[in-house]
Amino acid sequence: MEGFGPRIAFELPIFGGIPISDTVVNTWIIMAILIAFAVLASKKLEKIPKGFQNVTEAIVESLNSLTVQTMGEDKLFFAPYMGTLFLFLLLANLWGLLGLRQPTADINTTFGLAIMTFIAIHFFGAKSKGIGGYLKGFFEPLPFLFPLNVMGELSTPISLAFRLFGNMVGGFIIIGLLYGGLTSLSNMIGLSFFPIFQAGVPIIFHLYFDLFSGVLQSFIFVMLSMVFISMQMD
């Protein structure tokens, strides 16, 4: 998509130039932050937590309890994946607060994550029910509903991906247009050297589109993944 699509940041000089978009660069930065956090947080763990370790333990415990509450006691082994997904989405959605493009405002990121959920749904569904029981699920409640069931399963990742993408790209476009409008407003009253409108007015929009919508959408993505996976497994 031209206009509001991701820009090409630079080209990797191998295989005749691979274009790297700013989505990828921002994702790399977020990955580096998360890895650095994980390494620092688990460096010297003590029996009695204090300071930084307290914060880390609180995060891990709340993510564990969210997984247990949503998926059930026996599916605690999903907590690391779901926790990582949640932290990544949280950072990615809040990336707009830094004035950078959110990686989740790119359909490739959200679709990649949704496909991972899709694979998890069907892999763990087949694993816990057995191949026979898993395939039988498609012919229930009545055999001729098979095409409808397949369509329903295929629409899960699409709606999951586009829900996150639509919300984030909507906020991104509105914030972008808002800054453009405020810039021309400042220029109109001859304040181009001192951008007074851009400093204060967008805060309330950032609050809704980045903070509220970003946190809510990352929560919803993770919760829906958990619900879909545990529904297929039970």
Partner 1 sequence: MENTNFIMRFLEWLMSFDRKAIILAASAIGAGLAMIAGIGPGVGQGYAAGKGAEAVSYNPKSGRQATTVMLLGAAVAETSGILSLVISLILLYANPLVNVTGAAIVVAASAIGAGLSMIAGIGPGIGQGYAAGKGTEMVGKRPRLQSSIIRTMFLGQAVAQTTGIYAMIIALVLMFANPLIGLL
Q: Is residue 92 a contact partner of residue 103, using CB atoms and an 8 Å limit?
A: yes
Angle at 124 between CA 138 and CA 222, to 5 degrees: 100
Q: Which stretch binds partner 1 (CB under 8 A): 21-29, 80-88, 95-103, 214-222?
A: 214-222
Q: Is 170 near partner 1 (CB under 8 A)?
A: yes
Q: What are phi and psi of 14, to 5 degrees?
A: -125, 160
Q: How far is the CB of 185 from partner 1 (least distance, A)?
A: 15
Cα–Cα distance measured from residue 76 to residue 96, given in angstroms and rounded to the nearest whole number: 32
# of chain residues touching partner 1 (CB under 8 A): 24
Cα–Cα distance measured from residue 136 to residue 132, given in angstroms and rounded to the nearest whole number: 6
Token pair recorded at residue 102: 């959110």
Q: Is 65 near partner 1 (CB under 8 A)?
A: no
Q: Which stretch binds partner 1 (CB under 8 A): 18-26, 73-81, 114-122, 164-172?
A: 164-172
Binds partner 1 by CB under 8 A, chosen from 35, 40, 58, 177: 177
Q: Is residue 79 a contact partner of residue 64, using CB atoms and an 8 Å limit?
A: yes
Q: Is 227 near partner 1 (CB under 8 A)?
A: yes
Q: Is 1 near partner 1 (CB under 8 A)?
A: yes
Return the number of the residue (25 or 175) whose C-beta is nearest partner 1: 175
Q: Is 169 near partner 1 (CB under 8 A)?
A: yes
Q: Report H helices in the chain.
A: 22-41, 52-71, 79-93, 107-136, 146-188, 196-200, 202-206, 213-233
The CB density around residue 111, as the number of other CB atoms within 10 Å, is: 18
Return the number of the residue (191 or 227) whose C-beta is nearest partner 1: 227
Return the number of the residue (39 or 203) whose C-beta is nearest partner 1: 203
Near partner 1 in 2-31, by CB under 8 A: 2-4
The CB density around residue 43, as the number of other CB atoms within 10 Å, is: 9
Q: How far is the CB of 166 from partner 1 (least distance, A)?
A: 5
Which residues lie near partner 1 (CB under 8 A)?
1-4, 155, 159, 162-163, 166-167, 169-171, 173-174, 177, 208, 212, 216, 219-220, 223-224, 227
